Amino acid sequence: MFDLIIRKANLPDGRKNIDIAIRDGQIVEVGAAIKAQAVSEIDAQGCLTSPPFVDSHFHMDATLSLGQPRINQSGTLLEGIALWSELKPDLTVEAIKERALALCRWSIARGTLAIRSHVDICDDRLLAVDALLEVRKQMRPYIDLQLVAFPQDGYLRDPSAKKNLQRALDKGVDVVGGIPHFERTMDEGRQSIRQLCEIAAQRGLRVDMHCDESDDPLSRHVETLAFETRRLALNGYVTGSHLTSMHSMDNYYVSKLLPLMRDADLHVVANPLINIVLQARHDHYPKRRGMTRVPELLEAGINVAFGHDCVMDPWYSLGSHDMLDVAHMGLHIAQMTGVDQIKQAFTAVTTNGANVMGLDNYGLEPGCNADIVILQAGSSIDALRLRPTRLYVIRRGQIIAQTPKTTTQLQLDGKESDVQFTCDLF
Ligand code: FE2
């Protein structure tokens, strides 16, 4: 006897009409027509049934602060950073918590049950750290929330960042962050990477740096990140986020860089929605796209995930924390429209994000956590095309969000008919 069986599910890997049996919050059996009973059953009716979406790069301390104290008029990264500095003195633990919890409710409704959030530690009060540690605890039954100690104003450039970063880690922040391209010089950027990776190695923590979020083709801090990762035997524990300068780098240099990144088992997180609007702001025409070289990184055997980065904050006014929006934008920017590439874009907001975060028991195999989202689409490709309704969101075998199927009725020539957007091709 199982707690729950999901029947006739289509899986992201293309398997169709599969049953998933769940007991005690775990997936126990996956196969065709499981002959057993359960306390409850869901008939997925051939809908895509996936492990939950993973947002491996987000800023939960700033989210939903749009308009406070004013809107970013230029839409640029630098005005966003200035605006965030204007807002910081007025922040309270309660206000940050309230906004973050509201965002978590949106995430759950969209089927995103794992989030890595950077948290700015360049504020001696560490209000955002305290607020998000409480949010992490409060949301633990529903969302795997990982926090990154992020020195927004520069680890060496900000006078109290060194001390505050250690304080944040002492309080229980999970991951060591950084922003080498924002330090005063290239050399200080290199030093910051070395020092931050050493802290991670000493404490046994992962690293995730905002790295080379620039259109400067000579911003090459990712090379140092790969070097320090190997030197300190942090392989598989280090992520380079953004890496937008790679878009503009010399092609010969990139041919040397990719194997170095692969040798260090670096993870990469691109943030398509934000990269396409914040990068290339100094360009006239032609304008660069700014996102890092996703297909080439994947081709080199490097784990690449897509993050949302921002929702309604000083840097980005739009978004509802839907990872399908992110993947949809990412595959367009990178021209990943081959069938296998569209599937890779879906993986970038599911499995690859879980790899970045090092999540245990993620997936749809026996022994995995019964964390599942069922979408009103037949395949991962259709999910990206339609960005459809999340019919069920399941956490440890319990339904935590449910939305009825959406249908639209046409009334043409005096007759009523349903519109079906679905496609059986994939
Ligand atoms: Fe970011």
Please provide the average confidence, as pLDDT, over all residues in the chain.
97
Helix (H, G, I), strand (E, B) or coil at 40: strand
Distance from the alpha carbon of residue 58 to the mean position of ligand 1, in angstroms: 6
* Residue 324 pLDDT: 98
Distance from the alpha carbon of residue 411 to the mean position of ligand 1, in angstroms: 46
Q: Which residues surround ligand 1, an ion (CB under 5 A)?
A: 309
Q: Give strand ranges (E) for 61-219.
A: 112-120, 144-150, 175-176, 206-211
Amino acid at 348: A
Distance from the alpha carbon of residue 42 to the mean position of ligand 1, in angstroms: 38
Residues 6+ apart with CB under 8 A from 285: none
User: Rounded distance, CA 245 to CA 315, Å?
Assistant: 19
Distance from the alpha carbon of residue 115 to the mean position of ligand 1, in angstroms: 13
Tokens of 110: 């969209």
* Residue 278 pLDDT: 94
Sheet holding 390-395, edge to edge: 48-50, 372-375, 390-395, 398-402
Sorted by where each starts, the structural domains of the chain and their CATH numbers stand as 2-51+363-409 (2.30.40.10), 53-357 (3.20.20.140)
Sheet holding 53-58, edge to edge: 53-58, 112-120, 144-150, 175-176, 206-211, 238-242, 267-270, 303-306
Distance from the alpha carbon of residue 309 to the mean position of ligand 1, in angstroms: 5
Distance from the alpha carbon of residue 278 to the mean position of ligand 1, in angstroms: 11
pLDDT 10s per residue in the chain (426 long)?
Answer: 999 999 999 999 999 999 999 999 999 999 999 999 999 999 999 999 999 999 999 999 999 999 998 999 998 888 998 899 899 888 999 999 999 999 999 999 999 999 999 999 999 999 999 999 999 999 999 999 999 999 999 999 999 999 999 999 999 999 999 999 999 999 999 999 999 999 999 999 999 999 999 999 999 999 999 999 999 999 999 999 999 999 999 999 999 999 999 999 999 999 999 999 999 999 999 999 999 999 999 999 999 999 999 999 999 999 999 999 999 999 999 999 999 999 999 999 999 999 999 999 999 999 999 999 999 999 999 999 999 999 999 999 999 999 999 999 999 999 999 998 888 888
Distance from the alpha carbon of residue 164 to the mean position of ligand 1, in angstroms: 19
What tens digit of pLDDT does each residue of 297-339 get?
A: 999 999 999 999 999 999 999 999 999 999 999 999 999 999 9
Distance from the alpha carbon of residue 196 to the mean position of ligand 1, in angstroms: 17
* Residue 424 pLDDT: 80
* Residue 185 pLDDT: 98
Distance from the alpha carbon of residue 310 to the mean position of ligand 1, in angstroms: 7
Torsion of CA 251, 253, 257, 259, to 10 degrees: 70
* Residue 81 pLDDT: 85
Backbone angles phi, psi at 273, to 5 degrees: -60, -40
* Residue 426 pLDDT: 85
* Residue 425 pLDDT: 85
Would you name the residues annotated as active-site residues? 213
